[in-house]
Amino acid sequence: MDGNGRWAHQRGKPRLEGHRASLQSVRDIVEACRQLGIGFLTLYTFSAENWTRPPAEVAALMMLIRESLASQIAELDQKNVRVRHLGQREGLPDPLLEEVDRAAARTANNAGLTLHLAINYGGRQEIIAAARALAEEVASGRLVPGAIDEQQFAKHLYRPELPDPDLLIRTGGDFRVSNYLLWEIAYTEIYVTPTLWPDFGKRDLYEALASYQGRQRRFGGVEDES
């Protein structure tokens, strides 16, 4: 969800106003995915690299995420959305973790859209954590190196139950994945739009999905000519 700062700059506003404006896009896209029957939506909310931003902006983002979740959780629960955290807990403020845990507990039994909030998330960090967990199993004798395959590795990701994404949407026009779900997006279709995240709405989502529907996913094979 890129472009909040640029959106604010174009309007002569502080960066935080761009982050505030982005919340409506979050609500719209979550609701659209729910209505379309999409099973999983993961939002790159705060990356492991975002800690390098000015401390005041980081603190404001932590507060904004917590307040937004607290204000929306009743509606999300009522609409059968399951909320889960994706990323490292270490380093996150306790009030934010408490709110995330409350949301996860309240919606744990919901069977509709599963909404993963990637907070303090980094793809390389996730892969390193999985590699360390596997190394510990080998060192303890619980696993032999020859048994390590993709399935064994994936068991040690932050959310092993999360299926590989079908579609990655990048707003803001940059053609890079920015350390996002590096293991999981090996065969994910990518859609890049210049639209800044606070301007990204349901129509933009439908255009991205229409683009996805027009593609043929070969997963390394050949095109089906039948």
Q: Which residues contact 80 (CB under 8 A, 6 or more apart)?
A: 34, 110, 111, 112, 113
pLDDT, tens digit, for every residue of 125-176?
Answer: 999 999 999 999 999 999 999 999 999 999 999 999 999 999 999 999 999 9
The residue behind tokens 């303890």 is 140
Residue-level pLDDT at 226: 56
Residue-level pLDDT at 5: 95
Q: From CA 100, how far away is CA 159, in angstroms rounded?
A: 15
Residue-level pLDDT at 38: 98
Residue-level pLDDT at 224: 63
Please give the average per-residue pLDDT across 60-80, as a whole number.
Answer: 97
Residue-level pLDDT at 215: 93
Among this protein's residues, is 80 annotated catalytic? Answer: no
Of the candidates 222, 186, 200, which has an alpha carbon nearest to the alpha carbon of residue 4? 200
Q: Which of 2, 4, 120, 204 is catalytic?
A: 2
pLDDT, tens digit, for every residue of 173-225?
Answer: 999 999 999 999 999 999 999 999 999 999 999 999 999 999 988 777 767 66
Whether the model clears a pTM of 0.75, i.e. scores above it, the answer is yes
Tell me the backbone φ, ψ of residue 197, rounded to 5 degrees.
-55, -40
Q: Which of 50, 110, 179, 199 is catalytic?
A: 50
The band of 100, judged by pLDDT with boundaries at 50, 70 and 90, is: very high
Q: Chain-centre distance of CA 106, in angstroms?
A: 20
Residue 186 DSSP class: T
Query: In percent, how much of the chain has pLDDT > 70?
Result: 98
Please give the average per-residue pLDDT across 14-30, as a whole number.
Answer: 96
Query: What's the topology of domain 4-121+162-213?
Result: Undecaprenyl pyrophosphate synthetase (3.40.1180)
Neighbours of 111 (CB within 10 A): 9
Residue-level pLDDT at 225: 60
Among this protein's residues, is 204 annotated catalytic? Answer: no
Contact 44, 30 (CB under 8 A): no
Q: From CA 100, how far away is CA 56, in angstroms rounded?
A: 21
